[in-house]
C-alpha cells in the first residue's frame, strides 16, 4: 500500500525519551492525515546530511523554513511501521522534494526443528548513501548431513531451479512531497535532535552513560565519568 502526502503541510523528525533510551520518529501531516514512521537515529542523521547535499546541488536560494518551536511531534505519536529503505528526489516542474520511505520487512529465517537452543537471527543493516538501509538476515548454522548429494543430483537440482526468481517481500510505502524550506527545517531539527543525545567518549567514540563508561581503550581498568 502507498500513502502519499502531496504536498505536506508540515514534516519533522524528533525523538521521545531520555538520552540512551530515545525512540526516533519522522512525522508528516497533510490536512487531517497524520503519518508517523519509526526511525533509527542513524537514518535521521544520514537523511539530514543527504538532504543538505541535494539542496546544495540544486543551487537555489532557500529560506530557513519553520522555526524550531514548530518542529515538535504531534499527538498521537503512533508509528505506521519501522522505516527501511529511504529515497529522496526532486521534481523541478513543481519545485518540490520527495522523501519516500519503505517499510522494513525482514524475512523469517528457516527454523531448525531439531535444535531448540539456536539463537534468533538478528537483522543485518547495510548503510549506503542517501540514508538507504537494506535489511538482510543472518542465516543460522546448519549441520552437514553425513551423505552429500552426488554430482548428478546437484546438476538435476540446478536444472530444476533454473529460471526461478525469488523476489524479496515488499513492505508498505509513504511519500512526503515537501518544499525546500520544509526540508531545510527537517535537516536542521533532525541534526539537533541527534546531537543532543549522550556525550561520546573521546578515546573510543562510544556513548557515555550517566552511571559511567567502561572504555575499551582503557582495557576496562576504570570507568570514565565516575
Q: Does residue 117 belong to any structural domain of this protein? A: no
Cell matching residue 89: 528526489
Whether 28 and 6 have beta carbons less than 8 Å apart is answered as no
What is the total count of domains within the chain?
A: 2
Same domain, 11 and 39: yes
pTM tops 0.95, yes or no = no
Q: What CATH number corresponds to the domain at position 191?
A: 3.30.2450
Same domain, 221 and 127: no
Same domain, 127 and 207: no
Same domain, 156 and 209: no
pLDDT at 198: 56
CA distance 129 to 135: 15
Q: Does residue 113 belong to any structural domain of this protein? A: no
Low-confidence ranges of the chain (pLDDT < 50): 113-146, 203-204, 221-226
Q: Which domain holds residue 171?
A: 2-106+122-139+150-195
Amino acid at each position: 500500500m502507498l500513502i502519499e502526502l502531496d504536498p505536506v503541510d508540515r514534516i519533522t523528525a524528533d525523538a521521545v525519551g531520555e538520552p540512551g533510551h530515545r525512540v526516533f520518529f519522522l512525522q508528516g501531516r497533510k490536512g487531517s492525515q497524520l503519518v508517523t514512521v519509526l526511525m533509527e537515529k542513524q537514518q535521521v542523521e544520514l537523511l539530514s546530511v543527504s538532504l543538505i547535499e541535494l539542496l546544495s546541488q540544486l543551487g537555489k536560494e532557500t529560506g530557513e523554513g519553520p522555526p524550531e518551536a514548530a518542529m515538535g511531534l504531534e499527538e498521537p505519536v503512533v508509528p505506521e511501521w519501522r522505516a527501511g529503505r529511504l529515497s529522496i528526489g526532486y521534481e523541478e516542474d513543481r519545485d518540490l522534494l520527495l522523501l519516500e520511505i519503505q517499510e522494513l520487512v525482514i524475512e523469517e529465517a528457516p527454523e531448525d526443528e531439531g535444535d531448540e537452543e539456536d539463537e534468533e537471527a538478528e537483522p543485518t543493516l547495510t548503510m549506503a548513501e542517501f540514508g538507504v538501509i537494506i535489511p538482510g538476515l543472518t542465516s543460522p548454522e546448519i549441520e552437514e548431513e553425513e551423505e552429500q548429494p552426488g554430482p548428478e543430483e546437484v546438476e538435476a537440482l540446478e536444472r530444476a531451479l533454473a529460471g526461478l526468481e525469488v523476489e524479496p517481500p515488499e513492505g508498505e510505502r509513504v511519500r512526503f512531497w515537501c518544499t525546500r524550506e520544509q526540508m531545510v527545517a527537517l535537516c536542521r531539527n533532525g541534526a539537533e535532535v541527534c546531537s543532543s543525545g549522550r556525550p561520546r567518549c573521546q578515546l573510543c567514540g562510544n556513548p557515555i552513560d550517566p552511571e559511567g563508561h567502561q572504555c575499551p581503550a582503557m582495557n576496562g581498568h576504570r570507568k570514565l565519568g565516575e
